[in-house]
Amino acid sequence: MDFTGFEVRKCPPTVMYIPNFITSEEEQRILSHIERTPKPRWTQLLNRRLVNYGGVPHPNGMIAEEIPEWLQIYVDKVNNLGVFESQNANHVLVNEYLPGQGILPHTDGPLFHPIISTISTGAHTVLEFAKREDTAAEAEAGADQPSEMPREVRFKLLLEPRSLLILKDTLYSDYLHAISETSEDVLCDRICNYDLCENTYKIGDHLVRRSPRISLTIRNVPKTSKMKLKFC
Ligand SMILES: O=C(O)CCC(=O)C(=O)O
């Protein structure tokens, strides 16, 4: 796919934002599958809950598991765009955020091929970016080792429901991303993808109330292994 028209030009390379990547019917189907996810499948964190599909990424290699068909459809849809170049996505992280919840500044770290694709469903959010300090801790960081250091937010992206976001290059390697723990977002001039959004927004004191949001972060985990069964 030619992404030229979807590149967010006002931030460092490379961000692609595709509004309405999925239809409302597809969004509803995803939300109803997620709603039916058994409670024990969820990992409850302080500020969100999540489910891994495809396996749990690990430095020794992810033990690959089959992604359910209802979800594989969207992994294929992203793979078919050629997002992961010569690779294919093999992992989906489902995050659920209630109003007031978010994710601390982090990089996705070395367990993933350095390209992130995220489908947003349910509601919007605002993703914030800060420049990474060049510390060994941050170089090794992942979403499980976030940074609580106060940092200057350099720019933001408004992620509307049904959109696809792709992050790679300098933006993957040199920037932390985060979602503030707030119940409403201010549409400020640091949001740099208004021109690509589905809707027209008014910059100013306009506040947008958050509702529950489910994100599907679709990535490639290069190091995988098959489950070894040991018989004695
Ligand atoms: O929910 C999102 O859009 C971001 C998720 C994320 O950054 C992560 O899980 O590492």
CA of 103 from ligand 1 middle (Å) equals 7
Residue 177 near ligand 1, beta carbon < 6 Å: yes
pLDDT > 70? residue 41: yes
Residue 211 lies in a domain: yes
Residue 230 lies in a domain: no
CA 122 to chain centre: 14
Query: What is the structure's pLDDT at 99?
Result: 97
Query: What CATH number is given to the structural domain containing 106?
Result: 2.60.120.590
Output the residue whose Cα is nearest ligand 1's atom 1: 215
CA of 105 from ligand 1 middle (Å) equals 10
Q: Give the model confidence (pLDDT) of 142-178 as tens digits.
A: 655 566 556 799 999 999 999 999 999 999 999 999 9
Residue 73 lies in a domain: yes
Residue 179 lies in a domain: yes
Residue 137 to residue 114: CA distance in whole angstroms: 18
> Which amino acid does the sequence have at 72?
Q
Residue 231 lies in a domain: no
What residues make up the domain containing 121?
4-225
Residue 196 to residue 134: CA distance in whole angstroms: 32
What is the token pair recorded at 26? 């597809």
Residue 74 lies in a domain: yes
Output the residue whose Cα is nearest ligand 1's atom 2: 215
What one-character-per-residue DSSP string does 95-129 give?
EEE-TT--EEEE---TTS-SEEEEEEESS-EEEEE
Q: How many CB atoms lie within 10 A of CB 19?
A: 16
Residue 117 near ligand 1, beta carbon < 6 Å: no
Angle at 135 between CA 133 and CA 136, to 5 degrees: 150
pLDDT > 60? residue 103: yes
Domain count along the chain: 1
